Structure 1
Amino acid sequence: MRQRHHFHIDHAGHSVSATVQTGHTVVVEVLVDGKETGYATTQGDRPVTVHIELPTDPPTTATVRATPGPGMPRCLFEAEGAQPQVMSPRTY
């Protein structure tokens, strides 16, 4: 059964949101400031990394690592020059 899980973090004045849709094929969508900037799929519970850029001057490269399972999905945000941070789950 497919379920959607939402995660969020604010970094360097920008909003980063991730949606993890679980099921046989896992779909991960990442939005920066409300615009889709990354998308990836994986099978089962395999982790997936989505590469994104934050619209800073100069642009900052970052990644969102999604772990769909087992159990509840989790997302980790990593940006240049910053410690990795766990993204907060959101209920919608």
Structure 2
Amino acid sequence: MRSRHHFHIEHAGHSVSATVETGHTAVVEILVDGKETGYATTPDEHPVTVRVELPTDPPTAVAVRVTPGPGVPRCLLETPGAEPHIMSPRPY
């Protein structure tokens, strides 16, 4: 059975959101400031990292690490030179 989970974080003045659709193949969509900037699929519950850029000057490369399972998915925002930030789940 497929389920959709949403995560969000504000970082460096920008909005980063992740939608994780679980099932036999997990589908991950990353939005930065409301625009789709990253997309990935992964089989079953295998973790996946999606690399995106924040529109700073110059652009900042960040990554969203998604663990679709087991259980409830988890998302972390990885930024250069800092510990990963936990992305908060959002009900939709």
Settle same-fold status: TM greater than 0.5. yes
Match of 1:80 in 2: 80
Distance 1:67 1:7 in 2: 12
Give the aligned residue type for 2:52. Answer: I
**What whole-Å deviation, never above 9, does each CA across 1:5-58 have from its counterpart, x for those lacking one?**
000000000000000000001000000000000000000010000000000000
Aligned length: 92
Match of 1:6 in 2: 6
Superposed counterparts of 1:59-78, under 5 Å: 59-78=59-78
Normalised to the residue count of structure 2, the TM-score between the two structures is: 0.98
Match of 2:21 in 1: 21
Unmatched runs of 5 consecutive residues or more in structure 2:
none
Match of 1:57 in 2: 57
Q: What SS does the aligned partner of 1:83 have?
A: coil
Unmatched runs of 5 consecutive residues or more in structure 1:
none
User: Which aligned runs of 4 or more in structure 1 are off by greater than 2 angstroms?
Assistant: none
Q: CA RMSD in A?
A: 0.6
Q: Percent identical across equivalent pairs?
A: 75
Q: CA deviation at 1:81?
A: 2.9
Q: What SS does the aligned partner of 1:80 have?
A: coil
